[in-house]
Homo-oligomer: A and B are copies of this chain.
Amino acid sequence: MKEISNLLSYRDSIKVVDATLRDGGLVNDFFFDDDFVRCLYETNIKSGVDYMEFGYRGDKEMFDPEKFGKWKFCSDDDIRAIVGENESDLKIAIMADVGRCNYKQDILPRSESPVDLIRVATYLNQIPTAVDMIQDAKRKGYEVSCNIMAISSAQEGDVRAALDILGKTEVDVIYIVDSFGALYPEQLQRVAALYTEYGEKYNKKIGIHAHNNQQLAFANTIEAVGDGVDWLDATYAAMGRGAGNCAMELLLGFLKNPKYKVYPVIKFIEKHMNKLREDGTIWGYDLQYLMTGLLNQHPRTAIAFTKEGRKDYAEFYKEIVAMD
């Protein structure tokens, strides 16, 4: 199964996607300043990252633009203000959330947009809308991926049905998403086997988006690499909702393709990510996230625990066990 198990070679088909602005934006309500975003863009180019996700294309009818930074909506104009004509090998991605995005109106044809890749995010029960969004984006000329969220609490039969439906669309990449940070590498291996089965059948690439509730986001991502998963999400300093994601610095240190360089990542973290932390933005592994991951629960209670500045971990454990 582990085709690159000697760890000394690399696979050209691997793509690294920087999701810092999007998943990290869930931590600070997308209030990144332009200097941060511009420097992140330049760092991604220098470090050989393949795609940079700028945020959500959120529906302004649903979300108050006064309450969120602009990367919650990341208009083409806002992206252009950073990347210009994007004269680089780095491709631009945005996320379009089922039910939270007015995609027919807010996503223009690719020829009029700096965006290359539309990342459709869906729960299992929203697959028909996801399919419509995929078709819409493909018609407009984009590369398209689809994240099926929260699969650690789903029935395998339902996941199979979804993969079969998605396989028949024009989607380019289907993502394994461990929303709750609940999967162990051995489970991830089985999930990857399931997804790659459909990927081979329908000629789709498979991706992985991991969460670090049990300090396994990086471990699960490299497990997936060995299992034939090609698209890898990571964020700088692992910034992301709750316990955060797979750390870019760990991932680029692991990957052997000479185009990937870890030094620019370290420079960016030293200057920008550590400043975010010093200024009070909180993310990353902590006991409350371990607990929700262990119980395979949505991290929302753990996030609330963090936001309230609570330190009574044992009490919290009793609360969420009672809810289980």
> A: which residues have CB within 8 A of B?
2, 5, 7, 184-187, 212, 214-219, 222-223, 226, 247, 249-250, 253-254, 262-263, 266-267, 269-270, 274, 287, 290-291, 294, 311-314, 317
Contact = CB atoms under 8 A, between A and B. Distances in A.
A246 to B, nearest CB: 9
25 contacts: A5-B186, A7-B186, A184-B254, A185-B185, A185-B219, A185-B222, A212-B215, A214-B218, A215-B215, A215-B217, A215-B218, A215-B247, A215-B250, A218-B219, A249-B287, A250-B290, A253-B290, A253-B294, A262-B294, A263-B314, A263-B317, A270-B287, A270-B312, A270-B313, A270-B314
Contacts of A262: 294
Given A5-B186, A218-B214, A287 B314 contact: no
A247 B269 CA distance: 25
A184 B219 CA distance: 8
A160 B285 CA distance: 37
Nearest to A220: B219
A312 B269 CA distance: 10
Given A263-B314, A312-B270, A313-B269, A250 B214 contact: yes
Contacts of A212: 215
Consensus secondary structure, chain A interface: helix
A2 B212 CA distance: 23
This chain: how many copies in the complex?
2
A234 B214 CA distance: 14
Nearest to A254: B184
B216 A184 contact: no
Contacts of A187: 7
- CB-CB nearest 4 A-B residue pairs: A219-B219, A270-B313, A267-B314, A253-B294
A266 B287 contact: yes
Contacts of A247: 215
Nearest to A315: B270
A214 to B, nearest CB: 6
Nearest to A225: B186
Contact of A216 (B219, B274, B311): B219
Contacts of A290: 249-250, 253
